[in-house]
Amino acid sequence: MSSRDPEVSTASSAQLFERAEAVIPGGVNSPVRAFGSVGGTPRFIERAAGYTLTDVDGNDYVDLICSWGPMILGHSHPAVVEAVREAATTGLSFGAPTAGEIDLAAEIVARVAPVEQVRLVNSGTEATMSAVRLARGFTGRTKIIKFAGCYHGHVDALLADAGSGLATFGLPTSPGVTGAQAEDTIVVPYNDLDAVTKVFEAHAGEIACVITEAAAGNMGAIAPVPGFNEGLRTLTREHGALLIMDEVMTGFRASSSGWFGVDGVAGDLYTFGKVMSGGLPAAAFGGRADVMNHLAPAGPVYQAGTLSGNPVAVAAGLASLRAADRSVYDALERNADTLTGLLTDALTAEGVAHRVQRAGTLLSVFFSDEPVTDYAGAKKAETFRFPAFFHALLSRGVYPPPSAFEAWFVSSALDDRAFSIIADALPAAAKAAAAAQP
Ligand SMILES: *Cc1c(COP(=O)(O)O)cnc(C)c1O
């Protein structure tokens, strides 16, 4: 932490973290929240409204994480809060179908042309796990291809060389994942079609699916290079494998129809989460009806969930998507552009080598003087500059993701006041990044 950062009281957060560490492993329920790679006291949040997070010590922050994606409208959006309140008063869970589930599925189908049917689940992890099972069940094949640095939730078979928290902590995979669970996963570099071609040739007739983030956001923001997603489409089709577009992060954020709305490349299966949850535990997978019809009870591939399609979560997701109209997507675009400009100006002024990379409205800062196109490039960046940069921002009321390998998320709620807080905080943060030592 830079000695010139303002003193911020974190006594209550520190006290809670100590209590948490006694009863919760590492004090948190998802690793990145523990500030492991940036140090310092994780802030315990008391409430949030619009773009502002307020911690238990009364500090306010401009939120540039948005709960890792869901809060595109900002926090406590009146339409979402009202929908949740209404749903909660008529019963929390029935274990029987409800009309709202059809509305949410129909909203997703209407937005993403290649998606004809949708199954609701509770997390992005469940969505990718189920999509891979379905791809194997449908094709009768076992092997899958994934890309280094792409994160698809903490599914055993998909943890190999995954981004997100594993990138943050420098882990190739996880203890507890057996050889058998990992041996059917073939990992290749992102944006490398030749590598994918070679795997298909070496394993003719064995590949069930390729799973990719439609645009990578879990090793920092790395868009597919022109032709990459199209190439995956062609190769999978040629070899009788399915293409799974993981849009848990990009879905309904990159555009009203997610990354599909950006490059128009159709996957066979899609996974969604984050934005479509409205901030409650909900996610989905969907795609071609002939493939989805292999799922139980229509078909033989088993998949189920006690709380799947939960009425309160469905109400939150549906209200969020319905509120996310043209003006919201225009605001996201504008706000991502403004943030990109502010970051670039501040770091340039201090002579810090950097790239502010974009994947649609997702962005991230790489301390690198070359464009980053894959995980190896992301790991080569000067990540030692990030903790000082992060803490200089945090202590000045701006909350970016606490890891150099995570994307930054804007909401449509950011306004002139938010950007002036960010603009005021950035010069000191850029200085701190410039002064950081490996
Ligand atoms: C967040 C994420 C997941 C996992 O979703 P959870 O709800 O955290 O299980 C999967 N894929 C991608 C691309 C993600 O960004």
Residue-wise pLDDT tens digits, 286-337: 999 999 999 999 999 999 999 999 999 999 999 999 999 999 999 999 999 9
Ligand 1 pocket member 158 (CB < 6 A): no
Q: What single letter denotes the amino acid at residue 367? A: F
Q: Which residues contact 247 (CB under 8 A, 6 or more apart)?
A: 112, 213, 214, 258, 259, 260, 270, 271, 272
Distance 345 CA to ligand 1 centre (A): 31
Ligand 1 nearest-atom number relative to CA 274 = 7
Contact (CB, 8 A) for 97 and 309: yes
Q: pTM for the whole thing?
A: 0.96
Q: How far is residue 256 CA from its own chain's centroid?
A: 16
Distance 66 CA to ligand 1 centre (A): 14
Residue 161 annotated among the catalytic residues of the structure? no
Q: Which residues contact 67 (CB under 8 A, 6 or more apart)?
A: 274, 279
Pairing state between β 143-147 and 117-121: unpaired
At 390, is the secondary structure helix, strand, or coil?
A: helix
Return the closest-CA partner of residue 112 out of 315, 252, 320: 252
Ligand 1 pocket member 283 (CB < 6 A): yes
List C-alpha distances in Å: 102 to 13, 234, 401. 41, 32, 34
Q: What percent of the chain has pLDDT over 90?
A: 92
Question: Rounded distance, CA 227 to CA 237, Å?
Answer: 15
Mutation to probe ligand 1, out of 128, 129, 307 (largest number of atoms < 8 A from CB) = 128
Ligand 1 pocket member 152 (CB < 6 A): yes
Question: Which of the residues 246, 263, 268, 374 is marked catalytic?
Answer: 246
Nearest CA to ligand 1 atom 11: 152
Looking at the DSSP assignment, which residues form a beta bridge with residue 121?
A: 283
Pairing state between β 117-121 and 283-287: antiparallel
Q: What single letter denotes the amino acid at residue 225? A: V
Mutation to probe ligand 1, out of 125, 159, 406 (largest number of atoms < 8 A from CB) = 125
Distance 280 CA to ligand 1 centre (A): 14
Ligand 1 pocket member 249 (CB < 6 A): yes
**pLDDT of res. 2:** 46
| Element spanning 366, H or E | strand 362-366
Mutation to probe ligand 1, out of 274, 275, 364 (largest number of atoms < 8 A from CB) = 274
Ligand 1 pocket member 149 (CB < 6 A): no
**pLDDT of res. 180:** 78
Question: Which of the residues 51, 143, 146, 151 is marked catalytic?
Answer: 151
Residue 198 annotated among the catalytic residues of the structure? no
**pLDDT of res. 85:** 98
Residues lower than pLDDT 50 in the chain: 1-2
DSSP letter assigned to residue 280: B
Q: What single letter denotes the amino acid at residue 81? A: V
Contact (CB, 8 A) for 108 and 82: no
Residue 51 annotated among the catalytic residues of the structure? no
**pLDDT of res. 1:** 46
Distance 121 CA to ligand 1 centre (A): 12
Ligand 1 pocket member 123 (CB < 6 A): yes
The two three-digit tokens of residue 312, written as one number: 């309160």
Ligand 1 pocket member 406 (CB < 6 A): no
Question: Rounded distance, CA 173 to CA 171, Å?
Answer: 5
Question: Rounded distance, CA 107 to CA 109, Å?
Answer: 6
